[in-house]
Amino acid sequence: MLDWEQIFATRSSRMRASEIRELLKLLDQPDIISFAGGIPDPALFPDVAFKEAYSDIFSGAQVNAALQYSVSEGYKPLREWIARDVAKIGIDCTPDNVFITSGSQQALDYLGKLFLSPNDTALVTWPTYLGALSAFNAYEPNYDQLSLNGNRTPEAYRDTAAKTGGAVKFAYLSADFSNPTGETIDLAARERLLALADELDIAILEDAAYQHLRYDGEAIPPIMALDIARRGGIENTRTIYSGSFSKTLAPGLRVGFVVAAMPVIRKLVLMKQAADLHSSTINQIAIEHVASRGFDAQVAKIRSVYSKRRDAMLAALDKYMPKNATWTRPEGGMFVWVTLPEGMDGAELLAKSIATEKVAFVPGRAFYADGSNANTLRMSFSCADEAMIDEGIKRLGRLISNAIRAAA
């Protein structure tokens, strides 16, 4: 028998299915209330608009182009639409600064490949998006904790990177409604991050997957917009902005994008030529079709539904959670992040919760690059209605209260 592990590249050693994934497989049971998936509610997909879009494509002259190979940069009218859309939030760019990816997940893979040599350091928040860690892991980096309150000096980051034989290359974060905490980075912290990145001379990867899902509070300019404003134009920036149609229109079409200065875009285009040539032509055309005819109405619809679910989850947490648990109060996105007393373990709790209360969530440890903070939980409110949210949190509150009492 061939010993596959012996001949796999070293980069594959960090590619492992987590124990959490095994537990989450149990979610197929129909009677489970799930706060686990970070996915949009399929009932909100603009399916009629997509049906019309594909029907128009197939009944018009565009069909041949839609089924043909196309350019690696992406479908021009879609890049033009995106350039207009991001201009509304202060990201002034040309369509040439926009590069289409197969979901923003592909952008994370490409950016990891573009910047990280083995042992280089990626700065990430503690916790961070698990899919970003999975994407970057293939390039064998080290991770260091990105502090957004300014309490670490540039030297501290440099020293840590030097000890592991590499250099700091970028800071990755979501500034709005992050996965997993739902939190927003305030303006002062965004400015501090830009100053830190200047000092370290590194890139900032701004993951804006949830950008359009704000339910209340004042919108804060993206880091990319602040960078453009202070540098006088996108070509002088160090920020790379990634966005997605997955949370607003539909994830199954796999259309995301990157906005960046031309030297970055030119490299990404070469990488795409080598990896998959281009993202699905027909899906890019359909996304452009649906976005240009009704993006704002679609976003208004999903915001109205998700904001009520967010309110229901926060109200239920207030009602049912024991006093020594704390949680975030997100102004948007899909997640609430719960912190339990020290010593509690989210993975153990999930196993019990699925077995006895039939409620699922994601244990928080997986979102930490160092696997710490086992006493945290990610709860998504996107796919459950208000009554289910109340019932699910009630059961979970009971389980957690009992677990805390048993541990006391």
Q: For residue 77, state whether it binds ligand PLP (rule: CB under 6 A).
A: no
Stretch that binds ligand PLP, among 45-53, 100-108, 109-117, 281-289 (CB under 6 A): 100-108
135 SS3 class: helix
Check residue 183 for interaction with ligand PLP (CB under 6 A).
Answer: no
348 sits in which H/E element: helix 346-352
Comparing every residue's Cβ against ligand PLP, the nearest one is 103
> At 376, which helix (H) or strand (E)?
strand 376-380
For the CB of residue 174, give the shortest distance to ligand PLP in the complex, in Å.
Answer: 5
- Out of 73, 120, 140, 207, the only residue in the binding site for ligand PLP (CB under 6 A) is 207
Q: Binding to ligand PLP (CB under 6 A): which residues in 354-373?
A: none
Give CA–CA dist 33/354, Å, rounded: 9
Q: Which of 72, 104, 125, 284 binds ligand PLP (CB under 6 A)?
A: 104
Here's the x/- map for ligand PLP, 306-345, by CB under 6 A: it reads as: ----------------------------------------
77, 90, 131, 294: residue in contact with ligand PLP (rule CB under 6 A): 131
CA distances from 404 to 223, 316, 324, 371 (A): 40, 19, 9, 22
Stretch binding ligand PLP (CB under 6 A), from 103-111, 181-189, 278-286, 308-316? 103-111
Find the DSSP H helices in 164-236.
187-200, 223-231
Burial (CB count within 10 angstroms: exposed 0-12, middle 13-18, buried 19+), residue 353 = buried
* Cis bond upstream, residue 154 (ω within 30): no
Q: Smallest gap, in angstroms, from Cβ of residue 38 to ligand PLP?
A: 5
The answer to whether residue 38 forms part of the interface with ligand PLP (CB under 6 A) is yes
Closer CB to ligand PLP, residue 125 or residue 237? 125
Alpha carbons 141 and 139: distance in angstroms, whole number: 6
By CB under 6 A, residue 280 contacts ligand PLP: no
* Contact yes or no for 381/306 (Cβ under 8 A): yes
Region from 50-58, 228-236, 244-252, 284-292 binding ligand PLP, contact rule CB under 6 A: 244-252
Rg (CA), the chain: 22
Task: Please answer whether residues 340 and 378 qualify as being in contact, where contact means their C-beta atoms are separated by less than 8 angstroms.
Answer: no
Site residues (vs ligand PLP, CB under 6 A): 38, 103-105, 129, 131, 174, 179, 207, 209, 244, 246, 251, 256
